[in-house]
Amino acid sequence: MSVTRRVMLGGMGATVVAQAAPRPLLAAPAMLREIVARPGQAELLEPVQPKSPVWGYGGGVPGPEIRTRQGKDFAVQLLNKLPQPTTIHWHGIRNDNAMDGVAGLTQDAVAPGETFAYRFAPPDAGTFWYHPHNRTWEQLARGLYGAFIVEERNPPAVDHDRVLIFDDWRVGDDGKIDDASFGNFHDLSHAGRLGNILTVNGQFSHDVLVKAGERVRLRLVNAANARVMTISFPRHTPRVIALDGQPVSPFPMPTAGMRLAPAQRADVILDATEDVGRKTPIQVATGRANLVAGHLIYHPTQRKRRAALSENVVLPSNPMPTALRDVPDVVVKLDMTGGARSWFESAVYRGKTYDVRTLAREHQKVWAFNGIAGPPEVPLAQFAVGQTVHVQMINRTAWPHAMHFHGYHVREVAHSHRAPLPHWRDTIFMARDEQITVGFRAHNPGKWMLHCHMLEHQAGGMATWFEVT
């Protein structure tokens, strides 16, 4: 799917837009606040163009930026004012299972007009996000998502701490989301729903205001249904300090940029090393397009003394379960099959075997894990708390995927094409032909989803779950 010229031109000729004030929702302990999921409007296109009807938390896109503290009790009530049942999933939080927000697995979907109280104490500090887990492919694409920031007990000193949420949309010139194409077979069986415009924090062009010499922590989030984006800040050399909410030993962002698959996040430290009055692009490479999503706008006259920048930022580690053992207690194989150009012949769905045509036509399932189009009624595997688990993921499809584990962060222990990376992640990007074995220590009991975060793939069968008892 190509990106329209409007994006290219619009992005390049972007005008300076005043920075939208963040809308923090600081959760006081034991205090129940409300998030209303409801229809609203967003200015996704350029200001002169029509507004877009969306679904949003609080009616806006993105939803309120929620900030809370590591280990502190967080509570919020979801009120559903949508025409569909919904839930909230707190993506990346090693959560209590009952608070994970998965309709049909950890809770019933919340009917229109109803409420659900979420309450938990996030164990890890970092950059997370929240979104529905019911008809996610539609609800997320209509605008239901927001940043969930868990602050460190002693956050590193920076001049600004900003969230940048990247998303793509399929909208017409009338501003309307193309809803006729939701769940269509082509998206389902190919690369997922790819949009024709790109936004950052719900804006067609989003600018970050800085002063020369300042240090900025940017929290990058890919909230697109299916689009992989490579984000860069030309003329700057940001350092990556966390991935998917987990601190990493800092490394310079590759010059080509930071690749984020859907649902992945990166925290970077960007030092404003350009001079006063400068303007540099925030760039997103995706497919064959290279888009300007906004700018770093330097204050025309003011600067900050550079001495403050000498120290490197290293985040304190999160309380992850103890080191993985080389010899796992359990090895689970996950054969990923199906999709266009690599159709399986047949697969099991709800206990019955179907040929691919029937399965596609009658149930819109075209992908499978271990020959089962999901989500299945029984878990992929069961583990006991304390066991070391290896999951051997084999991508036999013609497509890339973004494999997301609920309740856990996992680490590569083997990779078919390169040395395994040491980072803890909740979403693993897999190119075609890749095999990646990941490991984790079962510490968090419950029923946990494992699915592709390219949401049409998830809907089309790339979903399973495992149980920890």
Nearer to ligand C2O by C-beta: 27 or 455?
A: 455
Give the number of other Cβ atoms within 10 Å of residue 184's Cβ: 13
For ligand C2O, the binding residue among 94, 133, 295, 409 (CB under 6 A) is: 133
Smallest distance, ligand C2O to C-beta of residue 131, A: 6
> Do 233 and 295 form a contact (C-beta atoms < 8 A)?
no
For ligand C2O, the binding residue among 390, 411, 451, 457 (CB under 6 A) is: 451
Q: Quick one: which of 392, 342, 330 has its CA closest to 368?
A: 342
Residues facing residue 37 across a β-bridge: 57, 80
258 binds, among Cu ion, ligand C2O, none (CB under 5 to 8 A by kind): none
Nearer to ligand C2O by C-beta: 295 or 453?
A: 453
Nearer to Cu ion by C-beta: 80 or 427?
A: 427
406 binds, among ligand C2O, Cu ion, none (CB under 5 to 8 A by kind): ligand C2O
Terminal Cα distance for the chain, rounded: 43
451 binds, among ligand C2O, Cu ion, none (CB under 5 to 8 A by kind): ligand C2O
Residues facing residue 367 across a β-bridge: 338
Closest residue (Cβ) to ligand C2O? Answer: 91
Nearer to Cu ion by C-beta: 89 or 206?
A: 89
CA distances from 232 to 20, 31, 195, 220 (A): 21, 39, 20, 11
Residues facing residue 40 across a β-bridge: 54
Which residue stretch of 110-118, 329-337, 339-347, 447-455 sits at the interface with ligand C2O (rule: CB under 6 A)? 447-455
401 binds, among Cu ion, ligand C2O, none (CB under 5 to 8 A by kind): Cu ion
Nearer to ligand C2O by C-beta: 10 or 192?
A: 192
Nearer to Cu ion by C-beta: 110 or 452?
A: 452
Near ligand C2O in 87-106, by CB under 6 A: 89, 91
Structure tokens at 112: 């229109």
Which residue stretch of 43-51, 171-179, 417-425, 446-454 sits at the interface with ligand C2O (rule: CB under 6 A)? 446-454
d(CA 120, CA 66): 14
Smallest distance, ligand C2O to C-beta of residue 150, A: 16
What does residue 30 show for φ and ψ, rounded to 5 degrees?
A: 55, 25
The C-alpha angle with vertex 161 and arms to 159 and 166, in degrees rounded to 5, equals 140
449 forms part of the interface with ligand C2O (CB under 6 A): yes
For ligand C2O, the binding residue among 88, 226, 263, 269 (CB under 6 A) is: 263
Query: Of how many residues is the chain composed?
Result: 469
Smallest distance, ligand C2O to C-beta of residue 453, A: 6
454 binds, among ligand C2O, Cu ion, none (CB under 5 to 8 A by kind): Cu ion
Which residue stretch of 176-184, 191-199, 380-388, 449-457 sits at the interface with ligand C2O (rule: CB under 6 A)? 449-457
Residues that bind Cu ion (CB under 5 A): 401, 452, 454, 457
Nearer to ligand C2O by C-beta: 204 or 367?
A: 367
> Do 59 and 39 form a contact (C-beta atoms < 8 A)?
yes
Q: What is the torsion angle, in degrees rounded to the nearest 10, for the CA atoms of residue 14, residue 20, residue 26 and residue 32?
A: -100
Structure tokens at 140: 């997320």
CA distances from 245 to 65, 112, 133, 146, 305 (A): 15, 32, 20, 15, 30
For the chain, the farthest-separated pair of C-alpha atoms sits apart, in whole angstroms, at 69
Binding mask 60-89 for ligand C2O (x = CB under 6 A): -----------------------------x
Smallest distance, ligand C2O to C-beta of residue 377, A: 18
d(CA 204, CA 128): 23
For ligand C2O, the binding residue among 406, 409, 425, 441 (CB under 6 A) is: 406
> Do 131 and 89 form a contact (C-beta atoms < 8 A)?
yes
442 forms part of the interface with ligand C2O (CB under 6 A): no
215 forms part of the interface with ligand C2O (CB under 6 A): no
Nearer to ligand C2O by C-beta: 205 or 222?
A: 222
> Do 421 and 443 form a contact (C-beta atoms < 8 A)?
no
Nearer to Cu ion by C-beta: 35 or 459?
A: 459
Smallest distance, Cu ion to C-beta of residue 459, A: 10
Structure tokens at 246: 């987990």
Smallest distance, ligand C2O to C-beta of residue 463, A: 8
Nearer to ligand C2O by C-beta: 224 or 263?
A: 263
Give the number of other Cβ atoms within 10 Å of residue 135's Cβ: 19
How many alpha carbons lie under 13 Å from residue 463 in its C-beta half-sphere? 28
The C-alpha angle with vertex 422 and arms to 246 and 219, in degrees rounded to 5, equals 30
> Do 110 and 78 form a contact (C-beta atoms < 8 A)?
yes
Q: List contacts with ligand C2O (CB under 6 A).
A: 89, 91, 131, 133, 263, 404, 406, 449, 451, 453
